[in-house]
């Protein structure tokens, strides 16, 4: 089964609350992932706060073109809620 992101909310610098298509919600700390040409700009909190769910990609993406695979987010996150 393929997992998709259905919702994303900014919690604090570098941390997002991400809800997935299986009903699981996880807090994902991305501080250690913000390196390289595409992700380095996300260290600017005003840009990081602009995280959204892509209509076509069904994952977290930002206006600068950065995005993260839903599987990576799922594996990296800490579960905070599960809805059956």
Q: Of 20, 4, 7, 12, which Cα lies nearest the Cα of 48?
A: 12
* Chosen CATH of 5-82 out of 3.40.1160.10, 3.30.2020.10, 3.90.550.10, 3.40.50.300: 3.30.2020.10
C-alpha to C-alpha distance for 45 and 65, rounded to whole angstroms: 16
Question: Residue 27 pairs with which residues in a beta bridge?
Answer: 17, 78
C-alpha to C-alpha distance for 55 and 12, rounded to whole angstroms: 24
Cα angle value 41/13/42 (rounded, 5°): 10
User: Which residues touch 35 (CB under 8 Å, ≥6 apart)?
Assistant: none
Q: How many residues does the chain have?
A: 84
- For residue range 38-74, list pLDDT tens digits in order: 999 999 999 999 999 999 999 999 999 999 999 999 9
- For residue range 3-41, list pLDDT tens digits in order: 999 999 999 999 999 999 999 999 999 999 999 999 999
């Amino acid at each position: 089964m393929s997992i998709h992101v259905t919702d994303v909310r900014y919690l604090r610098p570098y941390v997002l609350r991400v809800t997935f298509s299986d009903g699981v919600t996880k807090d994902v700390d991305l501080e250690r992932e913000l390196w390289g040409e595409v992700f380095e700009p996300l260290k600017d909190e005003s840009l990081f706060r602009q995280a959204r769910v892509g209509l076509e990609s069904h994952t977290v993406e930002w206006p600068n073109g950065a995005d993260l695979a839903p599987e990576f987010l799922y594996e990296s996150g800490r579960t905070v809620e599960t809805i059956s």
